[in-house]
Each structure stands twice: as structure tokens, then as C-alpha cells.
Amino acid sequence: MIWIHRLVTESGFIEAFWERLRERRRKDPSVSQEAVFEELNEEYREVFGEDRFPSFDAFRKRRDRGNPK
């Protein structure tokens, strides 16, 4: 389990997401964003007994809200 204290805040979860995605894609470029989200959300669930975000879509909307394309 990594950075569990960072996963508590929304911004910390998002930062951990981008770091984990980069790390995982160095090993396997086909790793999806959703797979990385699920890993982090599972780590959060193991400690706190609930999901940090209810779904990848909910996470994506919160993540992207400050970064319009």
C-alpha cells in the first residue's frame, strides 16, 4: 500500500493517480487509466472501508473539472 495518507484528499488522490499511471505505463504501456483508478480506490477501501470515489466516471469528472480540454 502506497501513499495512503495522500489518498484521503481529492487532490492527493489525483496526484497519486497520475504518478501511479506513469509508473505502471513504464512497465506496460497498455495499462488503462481505469485500471490504475481501481487499484488506488481498492487501497483506499482496504483502509477506510469505503470507496474514495464511487466510480471511475465520477473520479474522471472531478479530476478533469479544473482542466478543460
pLDDT of the residue at 3: 65
Total Cβ atoms within 10 A of residue 35: 14
Map out the domains of the chain as residue ranges. 6-64
Distances (CA, A) of 13 to 28, 57: 21, 15
**Residue-wise pLDDT tens digits, 13-31:** 999 999 999 999 999 999 9
**Residue-wise pLDDT tens digits, 35-51:** 999 999 999 999 999 99
